[in-house]
Structure 1
């Protein structure tokens, strides 16, 4: 087994080999019920409380197709520029896993509901890459194995395993790309950008919550290498169930360096599934990869074929929302953003948050500044996504309103935001509790200015002599004395008045 030490330098990998990708993304749909039964489709229930004879595969139970699931599959296919099948059917994919109670998965094989599409994705420098879609097909999720007693949560080293079938039968759409060649050292970035763009598209369609941390969006990354100057595809590995954008990029990069070391050492890459280790960014062997023949596909006899009419497909096409790429272009024009500013906005995951803040009364530039800068720093410090911060766009808009009204300075505004994040209430409540309102009483400010001038007579003399820039030292002293609650502009005006007087 290849160890972490048996890796090739990345620059050498790119010099000697051409990476080829294939990405399979599994999306759990947000339907109310499972794909073939009436059990609730919700995350986090008590183990084995959301099951019935059908999703447990008990004798005599029969499946019924979830119509909303089919509708979501067609809308996903349309959004991915796919052709929609006029006739398709389900198949049985036969394999044994403890968390697959029927010993087969109801899926689609050679007759998927959507095929031959594409998705244009934008890389960090603005380059657009077209990723071609082979198919998007419907299937059901498996249950979940919980390996207990070990240090890693995996079966190796565990004392025993528990099975939770709540997830068995949850509607899945598997989106499979065609091979993605020709991107050299940027292949890992292409993989991350594709999954990110796909997540944005699915979120816009409102067909899934696309929570990678909860497994409702999972990526299997297929990687192979071709020696430079050859045309024959190398042997691929499939790194299973990678559950973050960063991990997709790391997994692809690691497999490239690992496979290159194997090939350069005269070995052969084994076609297998591999597991990604979040802790150190490595992959480890899983099982030898099956072929389609190993699964013994055959048509599902308990479900009739589906034949979506052209009229129904066009009705669903009319329900598609504004696609992310179109939204990017519109936002850039409306908010007058540079390409770099737009990229920062999307990379921060702040588009919806800024839009909602603008809807609540803030100007685009103000809202963008708060979310992309200060609030992004707060999210990084807490190691959470920006949208997971305990503050709403309406609350951010209120802070901006208070600043624009002169009741808060930018510094005080940040303190108010920190108070909201700490659970101290609405912005106005935090202002009152912490006593953060700007000191606007001129009499109090004049007293503070006079005290500062008296303490620094040499600075006062410089100001009288025409060196107005020296007033900064007095402004700083007044701000310190008022705990940052003075209006700096008004303080400067009063200094000039008092010195002149």
Structure 2
């Protein structure tokens, strides 16, 4: 793992220390403590129960699916699962918080310490995860609906969140980005969060401090609700440089909450940072502690899929290059598509090369993702088999693939209908080679005079004359013999 990232200030080098608190919306149909829908995009205040609106006498009831998903997430990062946990009230006033408190877990979280391995530069680094606790989301204030008023939408009030708190183990914007991408991939593999940062279902609070090498941790700031990997990296970069500038200018870093301005790429002060005692945490009297039994934990563990690291190792063992394996496991939809391709018996190495080059290139051109690819794994396997058995050359396979994208037809049908089958007929190829040599007598004389680089020219002319249908290996063999004279 590279550790060369430093901020170069007027007084020398500074180290950057980064920790992330990621809020991930739990995949569930209902909210954490009510039966109201948790789906995204509904009209304001159409998904609000009496519990969400904090009507008098309404009592919260934990949603078992939300607890299950949080436990599965903890297991996916090898974290300690606490069989006894408790909900606390975090007291503060805000217009979008009807109860005047948030139900969270401070003292006894559902999930304890775990870790996530990231790649950066030429190596790997393990980022510690301090805890995962379950809490309810607040509502949303809308300031752009009226020139002088703000409106409150309580659709998100009570939606279940996992707060995934890392240790301050990251040392650069790149590491922060790698950690967030890896965490999002794990959540998507597990199915506990969709990871759609643009919809707000995953967002990060970015804690940054700076220090001289060898010194204790500096005072940190927390930049709230950053909603993309790119913006998280930009937050770390800007905030670290800002802090170095403040300190070197004779000032002190204030522990505060900040916001990231994506238009200007800078952070701005929002308010002074509160400590835990400011929220007057105490156990929620309306909720009993959560107690998990062995059967529940075993069912959670049995439901976990193959995770990205294990899948990557399996691909590499099957003959996929490390680079391709990283690309293929980065998104769960890609891995599922590739697994379906392997299940047809397609060889892993050539299949991975084709997916990461030809298929991804084509999907980028038409603006589609692999989840809605017009070519299904079975068709891709058929195309690869036609190349492997010599029916198609590489160039012919590209032509067939383009037709597949347009029509959805099977490769064998396209080959038959359009006469694209590769030929290894030595007689036909020798006849074309003879014509090419006659038409290019000047180049032939140069080749025989020692300019052997012209061999590629003759290969190209022969393939062109045969419409790309000649077997390249046979062409090379026959050309070498013919050009010798």
Q: 1:297-336, aligned counterparts within 5 Å?
A: 297-335=281-319
Q: What secondary structure does 2:235 align onto? A: helix
C-alpha separation between the residues in 2 aligned to 1:105 and 1:188?
Answer: 31
C-alpha separation between the residues in 1 aligned to 2:212 and 2:453?
Answer: 66
Alignment equivalent of 1:223, drawn from 204, 208, 212: 208
2:129 is the alignment partner of 1:133: yes
State the Cα distance separating 1:136 from its structure 2 match.
0.9
Alignment equivalent of 2:242, drawn from 258, 267, 291: 258
Q: Higher mean Cα deviation, 436-445 or 45-54?
A: 436-445
2:267 is the alignment partner of 1:270: no
2:339 is the alignment partner of 1:355: yes
State the Cα distance separating 1:365 from its structure 2 match.
0.7
2:426 is the alignment partner of 1:437: no
- Go from structure 1 to structure 2 and tell me whether the alpha carbon gap of 1:294 and 1:363 turns closer, same or farther (over 3 Å shift): same
State the Cα distance separating 1:367 from its structure 2 match.
1.8
Q: 1:156-305, aligned counterparts within 5 Å?
A: 163-180=152-169, 186-231=171-216, 233-279=217-263, 281-305=265-289
Report what 1:23 is aligned to.
20
Q: What secondary structure does 2:195 align onto? A: coil
C-alpha separation between the residues in 1 aligned to 2:95 and 2:401?
Answer: 48
- Go from structure 1 to structure 2 and tell me whether the alpha carbon gap of 1:418 and 1:303 turns closer, same or farther (over 3 Å shift): farther
C-alpha separation between the residues in 1 aligned to 2:97 and 2:411?
Answer: 53
State the Cα distance separating 1:486 from its structure 2 match.
4.2
C-alpha separation between the residues in 1 aligned to 2:374 and 2:201?
Answer: 23
Report what 2:108 is aligned to.
111
Q: What secondary structure does 1:332 align onto? A: helix
State the Cα distance separating 1:138 from its structure 2 match.
0.6
Q: What secondary structure does 1:316 align onto? A: helix
State the Cα distance separating 1:375 from its structure 2 match.
4.2
- Go from structure 1 to structure 2 and tell me whether the alpha carbon gap of 1:85 and 1:347 turns closer, same or farther (over 3 Å shift): closer
Any stretches of 5+ residues in structure 1 without a counterpart?
Answer: 1-8, 150-154
Contact map agreement 2:176 2:232 (CA 8 A) in 1: yes
Q: CA RMSD in A?
A: 4.0
State the Cα distance separating 1:391 from its structure 2 match.
4.8
Any stretches of 5+ residues in structure 2 without a counterpart?
Answer: 1-5
Report what 1:68 is aligned to.
65
C-alpha separation between the residues in 2 aligned to 1:136 and 1:361?
Answer: 40
2:80 is the alignment partner of 1:77: no
- Go from structure 1 to structure 2 and tell me whether the alpha carbon gap of 1:469 and 1:191 turns closer, same or farther (over 3 Å shift): closer
Contact map agreement 1:90 1:107 (CA 8 A) in 2: yes
Contact map agreement 1:24 1:175 (CA 8 A) in 2: yes
- Go from structure 1 to structure 2 and tell me whether the alpha carbon gap of 1:354 and 1:86 turns closer, same or farther (over 3 Å shift): closer
Q: What secondary structure does 1:335 align onto? A: coil
- Go from structure 1 to structure 2 and tell me whether the alpha carbon gap of 1:415 and 1:113 turns closer, same or farther (over 3 Å shift): same
- Go from structure 1 to structure 2 and tell me whether the alpha carbon gap of 1:113 and 1:439 turns closer, same or farther (over 3 Å shift): closer
- Go from structure 1 to structure 2 and tell me whether the alpha carbon gap of 1:78 and 1:491 turns closer, same or farther (over 3 Å shift): closer
Report what 2:53 is aligned to.
56
Q: What secondary structure does 2:350 align onto? A: helix
1:308-335 deviation digits (Å, cap 9, x = unpaired): 2345334433444444334433433333
2:119 is the alignment partner of 1:123: yes
State the Cα distance separating 1:239 from its structure 2 match.
1.9
Report what 2:3 is aligned to.
none
Contact map agreement 1:424 1:430 (CA 8 A) in 2: no
2:382 is the alignment partner of 1:398: yes
- Go from structure 1 to structure 2 and tell me whether the alpha carbon gap of 1:498 and 1:334 turns closer, same or farther (over 3 Å shift): closer
Report what 1:152 is aligned to.
none
C-alpha separation between the residues in 2 aligned to 1:100 and 1:55?
Answer: 9
C-alpha separation between the residues in 2 aligned to 1:408 and 1:162?
Answer: 63
Q: What secondary structure does 1:11 align onto? A: strand
Report what 2:408 is aligned to.
425
Report what 1:6 is aligned to.
none
C-alpha separation between the residues in 2 aligned to 1:99 and 1:466?
Answer: 82
- Go from structure 1 to structure 2 and tell me whether the alpha carbon gap of 1:475 and 1:229 turns closer, same or farther (over 3 Å shift): closer
C-alpha separation between the residues in 1 aligned to 2:416 and 2:142?
Answer: 47
1:42-65 deviation digits (Å, cap 9, x = unpaired): 333444443333333344433221
Contact map agreement 2:27 2:69 (CA 8 A) in 1: no
In the superposition, the TM-score normalised over structure 1's length comes to: 0.79
C-alpha separation between the residues in 2 aligned to 1:251 and 1:436?
Answer: 57
State the Cα distance separating 1:263 from its structure 2 match.
1.1
Q: What secondary structure does 1:84 align onto? A: coil
The size of the alignment, in residue pairs, is 479
C-alpha separation between the residues in 1 aligned to 2:403 and 2:122?
Answer: 37
State the Cα distance separating 1:66 from its structure 2 match.
0.7
Q: Higher mean Cα deviation, 252-261 or 188-197?
A: 188-197
Report what 1:44 is aligned to.
41
